[in-house]
Amino acid sequence: MRNQPVLVFDGDCSFCSTSVKFAERRLQPRCETIPWQFADLEALGVTSTRAEHEVLWVTPRGVVYGGAQAVAKALLSAGGGWALAGALLMVSPIRWVAHGGYRLVANNRHRMPGGTAACALPNRRAVGL
């Protein structure tokens, strides 16, 4: 069993990589960060399809949170004011808004600052999502 949570992100996406580097510098979440392309996904209990689709937070016990909830968990682990923001993202109806906002950004990350064509998500129909 791991000692700390793992934040799994898309290492091929410049927007995602830049966001994680920013979080590591400024928020300092208490977790390991690893691109899904280099992670032992089977040991983490996630599929490559899910890892391509959203950022993931995997607890030491193997509970997996995705998307906005993964972001909320990272904020909670950072403590201070960030933890308050993370807690708010976990509460309805803010959680619903956060999910929609996360999907909007994730689906358009190739258009975000620093994004490239490599940031585009696979076609949802092709991966069965």
pLDDT tens-digit profile of 11-26? 988 888 889 999 999 9
* Band of residue 124 on the pLDDT scale cut at 50, 70, 90: very low
How wide is the angle at C-alpha 118 spanned by C-alphas 115 and 123, nearest 5°? 110
Contacts of 25 (CB under 8 A, 6+ apart): none
- How much of the chain exceeds pLDDT 70, in percent? 86
First to last CA, the chain: 30
Using an 8 Å Cβ cutoff, are 46 and 64 in contact? yes
User: pLDDT tens across 52-95, in order?
Assistant: 999 999 999 999 999 999 999 999 999 999 999 999 999 999 99
Q: What is the pLDDT of residue 109?
A: 81
